[in-house]
Amino acid sequence: MERPAKKNIVIFASGSGSNAQRLLEHFEHHPDIRVAALFSNNPNAYALKRAETYHVPAFLFSREEFYKSEKVLQQLQQFQPDLIVLAGFLWLVPQNLLRAFPDKIINIHPALLPQYGGKGMHGQHVHTAVIQAGEPESGITIHYINEEYDKGTFIRQERCPVLPSDTPADLAARVLQLEHLHLPQVVEQLLDQQDQPKKED
């Protein structure tokens, strides 16, 4: 019997792309899943180079193309994505993509939502706010996205301590380790679940 086609992940990344790297590594020789493409809004994103290293096609787009045209949607459709993973992607995803890929776009956020999310809450801003608030814990939230920043159904949260001596960079490093560990697992689980029959309510 012929083997079914591999499932396709498409990654969106705006920066360094260490999470993208983990996905590229994890699925490089996977029998059923592949990273089909990486999209970025930032010509200087190191994530683009990482995709190149793994021979994964990379696409760069402007704000105008993202919000005022169907170009990104059309480019995406050629890869028939089973899951779109926002891995350090900083722009709000427009309606045309949300409508085209319902329940297929997920984000990873470096804090325990619903706290420390929303517009402007990214990178060091998140970790600085967590430390300033004296939180004993932080962590990661992997969630479906919707039309608002960092809202949408949670898929997985994982926690880590915040130490009294932590700088934002220390906390960022600890949280990033959690991201690297859990993101590939969650992606794989979600794609496996797509094959299982939905439970009746």
Closer residue to ligand GRF (CB): 97 or 107: 107
What CA–CA distance (Å, rounded) separates 90 from 102?
20
Shortest gap between Cβ of 1 and ligand GRF (angstroms)?
38
Return the sign of the alpha-carbon dihedral for residues 134, 180, 46, 96.
negative
Catalytic residue among 30, 55, 109, 127: 109
Of 14-22, 30-38, 49-57, 59-67, the segment contacting ligand GRF by CB under 6 A is 14-22
Collapsed DSSP state (helix, strand, coil) of residue 192: helix
Residue with the CB atom nearest ligand GRF in the bound state = 88
Q: Which x/- pattern over 108-127 shows residues binding ligand GRF (rule: CB under 6 A)? A: xxx-----------x-----
Q: Is 157 in the site for ligand GRF (CB under 6 A)?
A: no
Q: Is 9 in the site for ligand GRF (CB under 6 A)?
A: no
Helix 18-27 and helix 46-53: axis angle, to 10°?
10
Q: Is 190 in the site for ligand GRF (CB under 6 A)?
A: no
Hey, how many other C-beta atoms are within 10 angstroms of the C-beta on 25?
14
**32, 57 Cβ separation under 8 angstroms:** no
Q: Is 138 in the site for ligand GRF (CB under 6 A)?
A: no
Q: Is 139 in the site for ligand GRF (CB under 6 A)?
A: no
Strand duo 83-86 + 7-12: pairing: parallel
What CA–CA distance (Å, rounded) separates 191 from 201?
21
Is 109 a residue of the active site? yes
Q: What token pair was written down for 198?
A: 């939905």
Closer residue to ligand GRF (CB): 20 or 48: 20
Of 10-18, 28-36, 69-77, 153-161, the segment contacting ligand GRF by CB under 6 A is 10-18
Q: Which of residues 76-95 bind ligand GRF (CB under 6 A)?
A: 87-88
Q: What single string gives the DSSP state of each residue in 83-146?
A: EEEESS--SPPPHHHHHHSTT-EEEEESS-TTTT-STT--THHHHHHHHHTT-SEEEEEEEE--
Closer residue to ligand GRF (CB): 34 or 109: 109
Q: Which of residues 162-181 bind ligand GRF (CB under 6 A)?
A: 176, 179
Partners of 34 in beta bridges: 8
The set of catalytic residues is: 109
Residues within the interface to ligand GRF (CB under 6 A): 13, 15-20, 87-88, 108-110, 122, 176, 179
